[in-house]
Structure formats: C-alpha cells, structure tokens
A and B are shown apart, each in its own frame.
Chain A
C-alpha cells in the first residue's frame, strides 16, 4: 500500500480535493477544447484566454479521476501567465516525465509538476494525467473537435 503514495501524493490528493481554476470560465476567454477519455469517462473542457501569445487565464470544467483532475489543476496553475510556446514546451516535458520516451531527465524543467512522476509506473493511468494537456494543446490551436485520449 505504501508505494501507492507515490501515485497518490499529498499534492495530488490536495489538487483533487480542491482543484485550482476549476468550475469557472476563463476571464475574457477566447478559446476552449473538450477532452474525453472513454476508458474511464474522464471529461474536461479547458477554457483559455490567450492574447498576443500569452495565456492570460486558463480554467477547466468537467469530471475526472484524481489523477486527471490533479493534473488539470496543476497544469492551469503552471501555465497561467506563460506564453503559448512555454506552455507547449512544458507539455512536452510533462509528457516525457510520464512516458520516459526519450529517457531524458526533465525534473528541472517541470518544477512542481514532478509530483506527477509516480504515474509513470501505472501505464493505464498515463492517459488520465495527459488528458488536460492534450486538451489545452487543442484549445491553443483552437481546434473545435473533441480530443480523445484513446
């Protein structure tokens, strides 16, 4: 049971219990996208206000498991005020953190988001952790369609 704490870190549980930037629309929002994980029914909409390449506000609505909710909450906190390019770079680092595809050590690049590292040990849950990020990526590209993590 103890190694479960690597997945369900205190920070993750906290963001799940009290998600940041949750259940409201972005102020002066101008793009959004819908994300769906059919496997477990996680479903989020990411709302964003992006002006001149800067993310002035970002929020999310919907329902999901603790991992997807915490990841979405951490994401909104991390990218608010950043540029779109910085947010995309962070997504790439988080993706690497969760999948280890390139074998690159990204701990320095992800900052607080390193609490998501435990998810790597649970391949079935990686989709949960990346759902909000894929959805934000689509919102920034202003794709209308629903993002599906299957």
Chain B
C-alpha cells in the first residue's frame, strides 16, 4: 500500500536524458523574482530547494497514510510503518550499507555526530586519548568533540591544510598514534569544496585500528557514496542538503559498532521492556531512536532519493562539475577576485573574496540582483583563520543551476566591484 506514496510522481520523464530546463520545472520555488530579477539560487551548500516529488510525497502522505510508526495495529499505522521501513531500506541502498539496521534516523549531520560523540566517545574515549580531525571541519565536527575533551580530558588534534585547502596524507598519517581513538573528517568541505581522500584516510586509520567517522553532509548530494567500499565506521548526512526536508538526517554505523554502543537518549521506541527496576533496550537501529521520529521527513527523504536516482548521481555530478569549472574560470578572469579553496579535487562549492569589499557587502549587493549566495564564515571559523579572512562569499551549485546563472554570478560580481570602485 505504501508504494502509493512513491508513485504519485512519474519519474520516467526525469529519467530521460539530462535536461536542466526540465529539471528546473520540478522546483517551484525557483520560479520567482527577487527585487524584480529572476532568482538565482546559489546557496545550495547551506540548504537545497525541494522538488515537487518531495513536497507532494509529503503532503500526500499526510493526506492519506499518516499515523504513528512502530505502535499501532490499525491500517494507517501499518501503512505508515511500512513506508517508514521502506524508506530506511532506500537509504541503505542509496549509500550501499550492508544492512538496514545500520541506518539510524536523526535530525541531521549535527545530531548524528553528537550521537557518536556521546554514545561511542562517552564509552570508548578516555583521558589522554586523542581524536584526530582536520582544519577544514564544519563546527558540527569540531565542537561536539571539544565538549567531550572538556568532559573526559581527551585531546583534539587537528591535521593542517595547505593553502589550496587540502590535507597532506603523510602529515595525517604521522598524526595517528596509539592514543588516537577516533578519526573524524569531512568527506567534502562546505567552506572550500575540497573532496578529501577518504578512502585512503580510512585505510591509514584502520591500519592503526582506529575507527573513522566521515561527515558526508556535502558529499551525498554530489557523488555516489558506497559506505562498504569506503569501509568507514560511521557516515553522517543531512536530508535538507539532499533535496529532502529539513529535520531529517542519517547516521550510518557498522552494525557491530552500533551494537556495542549504549543508547544516548531514553524514551519510547528504544526499549524492549520497561519496569521500574530496569529497562531492556531495543535492538539497533531503534535503540538510538527514542520518541516519535520525523516520520514525514523520512518519507520526504525517500522521495528525494528516488528523485536523485531517477536523474542519476553520475549526470548530476557531471553537470555540477561543468558549472563549477565555468564559474571558476569566470571568477579567475575578474581582477580583484580571489578564490579560496583551490584543491585539485573539488566539489560544487566556490568560496571567494574581492579586494577591498567585505563578503557581507558582496552578499547584499548580489541579493539585490536576485542572486542568493552565502557570506560569512560558513560554520568553519578555523578555515577563515587559515586564509586570514574574516569571511568569504560562497556560491554553491546544485542540479538545477544553469550556465546562464553562472554568467549572472560573474556579472553580479562585476557590479559589486563597480559599486565599490
């Protein structure tokens, strides 16, 4: 019955050859003017817009199948349960996890990291132990570890980046030692666009028997992820950066690790049996999902995955790569513009600064031209410190962006420079 939610949009048309104009028609929000100019949405690394396939799947689910999950014998509850479980399997296949029980639904990448810090870290990391991260991490992959360090007396070590925004694997390897108890690294940097050599990182860490958490928030929308091939121990991402709703995210953890970890929150659904003398916890993944989950968020996430898979991550990546290349060339041609983050291996993020113009002013002037970009530290203040800038402007691309929009971005930047000339 639950397939009804999956099939309300015919994805066959989406499946046909890549056509950005037809893809744009799937995103209602894109068709509006901002200050009289067509909206050019280039803030995709902050969050992505949603296709009708997602919006409609969610409202359809509310309209026809909605009930709480895991608890009812009635028909709606069974439908909701089936759809929820089907969605979990969809996520499993999407990242090629071995077992659906390795998929834990959380609020987002931030919550997933906090879960690992609290549950795994709280039990396996002690005073004097080390956690190795990189200089390019998002605050979500810094602060929870720092909090653990303050509590238990472990030490946060930071692998430096070079001026292109890359880590050096030799340096990284040298920072691993017998005290290292966790490696936590962004798969793709949100501030720089760097794609980290995560396969090699996992191999190096595993050679020292150290588990690895990969922060995939900026990776899953742009590249196909295979957690078994990566062999990472934990992988986290947020739905809202993947054309899915905000409020839903995923923690992948290897089954034996998740089994060994205590729950981090208590409540309904995460238990087998409760008495006042004690409680027997549920199996994975439910052990980590206390309380009513974001049921419709999960339905939306499944619809987003269907949508992405109908287009194909291959064509999506190729399209975005072309946009990134064109935008990089265009910005390199503008005098006074400096691109921050020039790694050889980059995903669709373009951070830049303009001589004599603060990024916040760039953001406002671009906005006036209908161009939505991000200006700020991108929750990666250490990256800003590395490059000695207070902030950067950042354009980031998604499947629905066009070459015309890249041209608008470039002319928008020319206008910024003109205002400040």
Co-assembled chains A and B: yes
Q: Which residues of A contact B (CB under 8 A)?
A: 1, 3-4, 7-8, 13, 17, 39-43, 63-67, 69, 122, 124-125, 128
User: Does chain A have a CB within 8 A of B384?
Assistant: yes
A-B pairs with lowest CB-CB distance, top 3: A65-B358, A41-B390, A40-B360
A124–chain B nearest beta-carbon distance, Å: 8
User: Does chain A have a CB within 8 A of B30?
Assistant: no
Given known contacts A39-B360, A65-B361, what 10 new A-B pairs fall within 8 Å (CB)?
A1-B369, A4-B365, A8-B419, A13-B419, A41-B360, A42-B360, A43-B390, A63-B358, A65-B359, A125-B364
Complex: A124 Cα to B364 Cα, angstroms: 9
Is B375's CB under 8 angstroms from A40's CB?
yes
Is B368's CB under 8 angstroms from A65's CB?
no
| A39-B376, A63-B390 known; A1 vs B360 contact (CB < 8 Å) | no
A68–chain B nearest beta-carbon distance, Å: 8
Query: Which chain A residue lies CB-closest to B362?
Result: A65
User: Does chain A have a CB within 8 A of B241?
Assistant: no
Is A66's CB under 8 angstroms from B420's CB?
yes
Kindly identify, within residues 211 to 260 of chain B, every residue whose CB is under 8 Å from any CB belonging to chain A.
none
Is B384's CB under 8 angstroms from A41's CB?
yes
Complex: A17 Cα to B368 Cα, angstroms: 22
B280–chain A nearest beta-carbon distance, Å: 44
Is A7's CB under 8 angstroms from B364's CB?
yes
Is B420's CB under 8 angstroms from A40's CB?
no
Q: Which residues of B contact A (CB under 8 A)?
A: 356-361, 364-365, 368-369, 375-377, 384, 390-391, 415, 419-420
Ordered by A's residue number, 17 sampled pairs between the chains whose C-beta atoms are within 8 Å are: A1-B415, A3-B368, A4-B364, A4-B365, A4-B368, A4-B419, A8-B365, A8-B420, A40-B376, A40-B390, A41-B376, A41-B391, A42-B358, A42-B360, A64-B390, A65-B361, A67-B361
Is B359's CB under 8 angstroms from A40's CB?
yes
Q: Tell me whether chain A's interface is mostly helix, strand or loop, or mixed.
A: mixed
Q: Which of B358, B368, B369, B384 contacts A66 (CB 8 A)?
A: B358
Complex: A3 Cα to B361 Cα, angstroms: 14
Number of A-B contacts (CB under 8 A): 56
A129–chain B nearest beta-carbon distance, Å: 12
Chain A residues with Cβ under 8 A from B377's Cβ?
A: 41
Is B360's CB under 8 angstroms from A128's CB?
yes
Chain A residues with Cβ under 8 A from B390's Cβ?
A: 40-43, 63-64
Is B376's CB under 8 angstroms from A1's CB?
no
Chain B residues with Cβ under 8 A from A64's Cβ?
A: 358, 390
Query: Which chain A residue lies CB-closest to B390?
Result: A41
Complex: A42 Cα to B358 Cα, angstroms: 9
Chain B residues with Cβ under 8 A from A69's Cβ?
A: 358
Is B361's CB under 8 angstroms from A66's CB?
yes
Residue from A1, A39, A124 whose CB has the most chain B CB atoms within 10 Å: A1
Q: Which of A3, A43, A65 contacts B360 (CB 8 A)?
A: A65
Complex: A4 Cα to B364 Cα, angstroms: 9
Q: Which of A66, A122, A124 contacts B357 (CB 8 A)?
A: A66
Query: Which chain A residue lies CB-closest to B421?
Result: A13
A39–chain B nearest beta-carbon distance, Å: 6
Query: Which chain B residue lies CB-closest to A7?
Result: B364
B180–chain A nearest beta-carbon distance, Å: 32
Query: Which chain A residue lies CB-closest to B391?
Result: A41
Query: Which chain B residue lies CB-closest to A43?
Result: B390
Complex: A42 Cα to B391 Cα, angstroms: 9
Chain B residues with Cβ under 8 A from A40's Cβ?
A: 358-360, 375-376, 390-391
A122–chain B nearest beta-carbon distance, Å: 6
Chain A residues with Cβ under 8 A from B359's Cβ?
A: 40, 65
Chain A residues with Cβ under 8 A from B375's Cβ?
A: 40
Complex: A137 Cα to B377 Cα, angstroms: 27
Complex: A1 Cα to B358 Cα, angstroms: 18
Chain B residues with Cβ under 8 A from A8's Cβ?
A: 361, 365, 419-420
Complex: A127 Cα to B357 Cα, angstroms: 18
Chain A residues with Cβ under 8 A from B419's Cβ?
A: 1, 4, 8, 13
B201–chain A nearest beta-carbon distance, Å: 30
Query: Which chain B residue lies CB-closest to A40?
Result: B360
Query: Which chain A residue lies CB-closest to B412?
Result: A1
Complex: A59 Cα to B131 Cα, angstroms: 43
Query: Which chain A residue lies CB-closest to B375?
Result: A40
Complex: A17 Cα to B361 Cα, angstroms: 13
Complex: A128 Cα to B390 Cα, angstroms: 14
Complex: A7 Cα to B364 Cα, angstroms: 10
Is A1's CB under 8 angstroms from B368's CB?
yes
